Amino acid sequence: MNIYLRELRANLKSLIIWSVIIILLVVIAVTKFAAYADNPEMLAILDAYPKALLDALNMHAFNLTTLNGFLGVMFLYYALMGAIAAGLWGSGALAREERNKTIEFALALPITRTRFLTAKALAALTLSALFVLITWMTTLVAIQSYQPDESVYAFLAREMMAMFAIEVIFLAIGLLVASVSKRPKRTGAMVTGVILTLYYVSMIAGLHEKLDFLKYLSPFKYFDAAKLLHEGRVDPVYWALTAGIVVCSLVGAYWAFHRRDIFV
Amino acid sequence: MPVIETRQLTKYYGKARGIVDVSLQVEEGEIFGFIGPNGAGKTTTIRLLLGLIFPTRGEARIFGKDAIKDGPEIRRHIGYLPSEVFYYEGMKVIDLLKYAASFYPGDHTKRLHELAEYMELDLHRKIEDLSYGNRKKVGIVQGLLHRPKLVFLDEPTLGLDPLMQRKFFDLIREENARGVTVFFSSHILGEVQRLCQRVGIIKEGQLIEVSDIRTLQQNNYKRIYVAAREIPSGYFDRPGVTNLEAVNGGVRFFYKGDIDAIVARISALDLIDVTIEEPTLEEIFMHYYE
């Protein structure tokens, strides 16, 4: 419990920073949305954009003059920010202690490595959940003036669930990278690199039929906002993939951490 | 049953040598000195014993239990003062110490305050504002507050001023008198000599000698200084004599061998002055590292 609370406290500042970023993002986006809302002329302008661009940004599937369309586009940012935040919380849990050389102190205490890693992982999970809640609240407040109906609330709830799932994936990957990596100073950059690469992969995946297989490669594609809106659910294949990635990453992380030599 | 027992304990970092085939025993209640220059493998040995790193081969047992498998249980009774202490910078000293104490069963508040007062440690400052020496004091309090049965000290006096060093040594002696076993790693021989009963000498990852500190001094070399009216050249060229040098009116050398023979040889001279001393650990040590 102490390790968990310490980890939460150590990351409080980072959670606040991420929250400020998401709040700013939502405020700016809603301000822009004011120009689109119920404005058919905007649709005409958008139609003039190259199709490939709209595909890449996943804007094709949405009617940007509606709240659902707005939320669909916002999800691109929510997913990316959630992924990076959670990835850094996951990897930072170990990498920070190694960078600051406090890990020797921590592991010379009478605790098992399992307990140490589990407490850290749960703290990162808590932060991820809080980040989703903050995003959720902020969005709810921001869209109030546009009279959201039931379908908007339901869609937003599905998006938030998807955001959390993406966070869990990258949190687990972050833990794995930090447990395996020999260079704690580079871990954060590595995790961010992986996330951005997968993010681009998810964009490319929509561009051409031949690239369709890429959708299995990138977790961002598993939770496609357009499908969340129109089908209202996530394909079980993707749930299975999500579970697979998370379980494999965690098993790998515990396995590697139990064999990891601690130097400072 | 020895408190620490290692058998062929070996650690390679990839291809780089850590320690090789270190087999040693430390008995309950002794202060065991572990000496060697930087990079000889002292810290590697301690980290292996603490389960921070894993042996390439060989095994280590502490309190008769496996150092890796039973690590968490063993560490309840271990205090560790690393050569450089690193704590969570943003925390206050008192919070850090309470945090550390919370992992050991029982209430350690009283002991914590006793030790802090003794080491003149200000509990209400932040770790990040502390000097190197003050951090070391936090380390000392943290390492001892749960009344461990075995204490690892890795270059413990680094950063402590002489006054604090003395207080610290007194503290360690006090703990030892209560039955605490101490594993004292250092490259400063003087302090090992002052504190330890037995020493192990480690060189390039290998334990080259373990012996009683008295034996090490007595059975090895004598440092002899002889001043006489006349010393014929080559008079002391005999087996067992080394490092012969002429110094103001006499000669100085190390001798290892039959003490009666050398004394007879010396007394045949027309003597002015003689001293026969035990060498310092430093001198013995240099011999091992030649």
pLDDT tens for residues A171-220? 999 999 999 998 888 999 999 999 999 998 888 887 777 777 888 888 98
What is the ipTM score, two decimals? 0.85
Among chain A residues, CA nearest to B51: A108
How much of chain B, in percent, has pLDDT values that exceed 90? 63
Backbone angles phi, psi at A19, to 5 degrees: -65, -40
With cut-offs at 50, 70 and 90, classify the pLDDT of residue A35: confident
Burial of A221 (0-12, 13-18, 19+ CB in 10 A): buried
pLDDT at A61: 67
Nearest to A110 among B88, B89, B103 (CB): B103
Which one-letter DSSP state was computed for residue A211?
G
Interface membership of B49 toward A (CB under 8 Å): no
Residues of A in contact with B78 (CB under 8 A): 108, 110
B residues 107-136 near A, CB within 8 Å? none
CB contacts < 8 A (A, B)? 62
Reading across the β-sheet that carries B271-277, which strands appear in turn? B241-247, B250-255, B222-228, B271-277
Q: What is the predicted pLDDT for the residue at A216? A: 86
pLDDT digits (tens, 9 = 90+) for A85-133: 999 999 999 999 999 999 999 999 999 999 999 999 999 999 999 999 9
- Please list the alpha-helical segments (H only) found in A100-186: 103-108, 113-143, 150-180
B137 touches chain A (CB under 8 A): no
CA distances from B18 to B46, B47, B133, B199, B207 (A): 11, 11, 28, 20, 12
Nearest CA in chain B to A99: B86
Question: Where is pLDDT greater, at A251 or A207?
Answer: A251
Cα(B85)–Cα(B135) distance, integer angstroms: 7
Amino acid identity of residue B165, one-letter, is: Q
Which chain B residue has its CA at the smallest distance from A114's CA?
A: B72
Which residues share a beta bridge with B225? B252, B275
Residue A88 is predicted with a pLDDT of 96
Query: Which of A6, A259, A264 shows the shortest C-beta gap to B99?
Result: A6
Q: Do B87 and A110 touch (CB under 8 A)?
A: no
Q: Does B289 touch chain A (CB under 8 A)?
A: no
Alpha-carbon span B69 to B66, nearest angstrom = 5
CB atoms within 10 A of CB B258: 11
Q: What is the pLDDT of residue B38?
A: 82
Q: Which tens digits make up the pLDDT trace of B214-264?
A: 777 666 678 899 999 888 888 888 888 888 888 877 899 988 888 888 899
* Candidate from B13, B86, B104 with C-beta closest to A110: B104
What pLDDT is attached to residue A139?
A: 95
Element (H, E) at B239: none
Share of residues in chain B with pLDDT > 70 (%): 96
> Measured between CA atoms, how close is B251 to chain A, in angstroms?
49
Q: Mean pLDDT throughout A19-24? A: 95
Task: Centre a 10 Å sphere on the Cβ of residue B121 and count the other Cβ atoms it contains.
Answer: 22
- Write the residue in B52, B87, B89 that is nearest to A262 by C-beta: B52
What residue segments make up the domains of chain A, in order of their start?
Answer: 2-259
- Range B115-144 average pLDDT: 94
Dihedral, CA of residue A75, residue A77, residue A81 and residue A83, to nearest 10: 50
Q: Is A169 in contact with A247 (CB distance < 8 Å)?
A: no
Q: Which range in B58-67, B206-215, B266-275 is most confidently predicted, on average pLDDT?
A: B58-67
Region A234-241 average pLDDT: 90
